[in-house]
Chain A
Amino acid sequence: MPDRVAIVGIGQTYHRSRRDDVSLPEMVGEAVRAALADAQLSAKDIEFFIFSNMEAFEGIYLPEHGMIAEVGATGKPGLKVTGGGTTGAEAVGAGCHMISAGLYEITMVVSWQKHDCGDATAGISAAAVPTHAKGMVVGAVSEFAKQALSYMKESGAREEHAAMVRLKADRGACRNPYSHLKLGLKSVDEVLQSPYLVWPIRLYDFCPQSCGACALILASENRARRIHRKPVWIVDFEVVHQEMFRAGSFGDPTGTETYSQDIASERLYKRNGITNVRKEIDLAEIYEPSTWEEMSLYEHFHFCEKNEGWKLIERGATEIEGEFPVNCSGGVLATNPIGATPVIRIAEAALQIRGDAGEHQATRDVKTALATALGGPNWTAMFLLKRSL
């Protein structure tokens, strides 16, 4: 039977638009040191390293090679994982696999993005495959604009509901010491005054480009209980990919595609005997690049019935104080260092289970949490975390 895996160390940097004060390795080092301190381990204790970022957004190849010394990986085995927006989640998956296969007992996931080196949207459009993607890709905003139009048309949600999603995110972000955008927004009207980027996506409907890093230390069952008094168990995870373009856009209404969210959640819930998500899971940290996408993801992850995602928002069900809190941290709408973003989802879900989220700790007791990642054209990763096995 494969060995079971727990998160025993969590570290992240604070997140900002620019980190001119540090180099890429120095910034990553901040998260690594924080994770080691949390686990009360030294870099010497880490047996295997997994590095993860979104390729090309810093404009260089092998960015991890400049940080081997800084993270303490010299002379150690490791690998690099890259898979678009879901990249950090796949890195955590790889860290779990190394342990459950019995190869190592302690692994570390090191993830980051330093957006002040370049520009993500430019990276997406400029680094697109020249032979068939050039001119067809105008960055993520345009894709999520189409998703928003489809969601609006199908579900009956209005721009006010998207604004409520930003207000919820902002309330969480203002309580989270690590979050990037703390806007202090007070009303729906204030959000609706923000300008359109790509119709109907407003500036406040979309995630920022953040500089930041997140590190997680994973350990086998045998070691986990001795390292941390509150290990958080990764009981299961699922990753689903599709090919670019053929997958359609996010929530593409063309009806010819199967959404990766649907397949991933069906598999994960079935394996774990989950039939009523909001009853059997206590909280979720989801990867929501836009306000509209958050409402759509509620439905695809079966938090509610089809076309009812906006009703959960309207009712406040997913607020920090709500029955099923989603993204107490402020989520991706507030903080988005892309390579690290999925790792932060898992880290924040784990902090909630530990009860260590501080000001943005959910009101209800969190024993089971879901963390998800989204990337590329509709890729999905889902992690199920628990306080006890």
Chain B
Amino acid sequence: MAQKSSTKKGKEPEYIRVKFDFPRRYRWSTGKYLGKLYAEAKENKKLVANRCPKCRGILIHPPTPVCPWCKVDTGWDWVELPQTGRIFQYTYQVYPLWDPHEGGKYSNPHPPAIILLDNGVYLRHRLEETDTKKLREGMRVQAVWEEDYEKRGQGLQDILYFRIIEE
């Protein structure tokens, strides 16, 4: 923005609007470890994580070649995570955010949540139920996958959300 005229007291300055485009194209590689998560999700609808050989800790999302706590190479030890768990904590968006990709207001209706999976691992994802009055902590939930093979390939986003299930 360039100022056309000097600002007089109590008067808004006039601006010349300078137009410019910001085309951005990027190509990212998942690499070996994160690539395994992508492949298992797309091909088998499975959620996987790798494990530290020393502390035996499960390195939840993203999988990594080095354990952050023990600082040792993790090798190639994979576990399949359960797809059911309980709502540990959830919140919901009231005011829409700005989406820079589309240039408009954006609001994901699915409440962000921390899911406590059945093996004790915490996973950050979303809930299907958008009526927040029906939600409470501790509810049983199950992962809902994108069923279209062609649409899968988005890693953790191949799980659309978690659905409330009967106890």
Q: Which of B78-86, B95-103, B141-149 touches A?
A: B95-103
B6 to chain A, nearest CB (A): 10
Expressed in whole angstroms, the Cα–Cα distance for A216 and B74 within the complex equals 43
Question: CB-nearest residue of chain A relative to B126?
Answer: A135
Among candidates B62, B93, B95, B122, residue contacting A195 with C-beta atoms closer than 8 Å: B95
**Total A-B residue contacts, Cβ distance less than 8 Å:** 97
Query: Once the chains bind, are B94 and A198 in contact (CB under 8 Å)?
Result: yes
Query: Once the chains bind, are B89 and A146 in contact (CB under 8 Å)?
Result: yes
Given A126-B100, A130-B26, is A149 in contact with B89 using a C-beta cutoff of 8 Å?
Answer: yes
Q: List 5 A-B contacts (CB under 8 A).
A: A131-B34, A135-B154, A146-B89, A199-B92, A252-B114
Expressed in whole angstroms, the Cα–Cα distance for A252 and B88 within the complex equals 11
B7 partner residues in chain A, CB cutoff 8 A: 21
Shortest beta-carbon contacts, A-B, top 8 = A122-B100, A196-B94, A145-B91, A132-B62, A126-B100, A254-B122, A197-B95, A122-B98
Which residues of A (235-287) have their CB < 8 Å from a CB of B? 242-243, 245-246, 248-249, 252-254, 256
Which residues of A (168-192) have their CB < 8 Å from a CB of B? none
Residues 115-154 of B, flagged 1 when their CB comes within 8 A of A and 0 if not, give 0000000101100000010000000000000000000001
- Tell me the count of chain A residues lying within 8 A, CB to CB, of chain B: 41
Given A142-B112, A146-B114, is A132 in contact with B132 using a C-beta cutoff of 8 Å?
Answer: no
Answer yes or no: A100 CB below 8 A from chain B CBs. no
Expressed in whole angstroms, the Cα–Cα distance for A25 and B109 within the complex equals 40
- Contact surface of A with B, Cβ cutoff 8 Å: 20-21, 59, 118-119, 121-123, 125-126, 129-132, 134-136, 138-139, 142, 145-146, 149-150, 195-200, 203, 242-243, 245-246, 248-249, 252-254, 256
- Tell me the count of chain B residues lying within 8 A, CB to CB, of chain A: 39
Query: Once the chains bind, are B114 and A121 in contact (CB under 8 Å)?
Result: no
Query: Once the chains bind, are B122 and A138 in contact (CB under 8 Å)?
Result: no
- Contact surface of B with A, Cβ cutoff 8 Å: 1, 3, 7, 13, 15, 22, 26, 28-30, 34, 59-62, 68, 88-89, 91-95, 97-101, 108, 112, 114, 122, 124-125, 132, 154-157
Expressed in whole angstroms, the Cα–Cα distance for A173 and B154 within the complex equals 45
A134 partner residues in chain B, CB cutoff 8 A: 157
B149 to chain A, nearest CB (A): 19
Query: Once the chains bind, are B155 and A131 in contact (CB under 8 Å)?
Result: yes
Query: Once the chains bind, are B108 and A138 in contact (CB under 8 Å)?
Result: yes
A203 partner residues in chain B, CB cutoff 8 A: 95
A252 partner residues in chain B, CB cutoff 8 A: 114
Query: Once the chains bind, are A245 and B155 in contact (CB under 8 Å)?
Result: no
A256 partner residues in chain B, CB cutoff 8 A: 122
A253 partner residues in chain B, CB cutoff 8 A: 88-89
A197 partner residues in chain B, CB cutoff 8 A: 93-95
B89 partner residues in chain A, CB cutoff 8 A: 146, 149-150, 253
Query: Once the chains bind, are B61 and A125 in contact (CB under 8 Å)?
Result: no
Among candidates A150, A198, A245, A246, residue contacting B95 with C-beta atoms closer than 8 Å: A198
Expressed in whole angstroms, the Cα–Cα distance for A146 and B93 within the complex equals 12
B64 to chain A, nearest CB (A): 8
Expressed in whole angstroms, the Cα–Cα distance for A246 and B52 within the complex equals 14
Known: A119-B98, A146-B114, A197-B93. 11 other contacts (CB 8 A): A21-B13, A118-B100, A122-B98, A122-B99, A125-B100, A129-B28, A131-B30, A132-B30, A138-B93, A198-B93, A246-B68
A37 to chain B, nearest CB (A): 25
B94 partner residues in chain A, CB cutoff 8 A: 195-199
Expressed in whole angstroms, the Cα–Cα distance for A254 and B15 within the complex equals 51
Expressed in whole angstroms, the Cα–Cα distance for A252 and B91 within the complex equals 14
Query: Once the chains bind, are A146 and B97 in contact (CB under 8 Å)?
Result: no
Given A131-B30, A132-B155, A243-B68, is A196 in contact with B95 using a C-beta cutoff of 8 Å?
Answer: yes
Expressed in whole angstroms, the Cα–Cα distance for A131 and B62 within the complex equals 9
Query: Once the chains bind, are A246 and B122 in contact (CB under 8 Å)?
Result: no
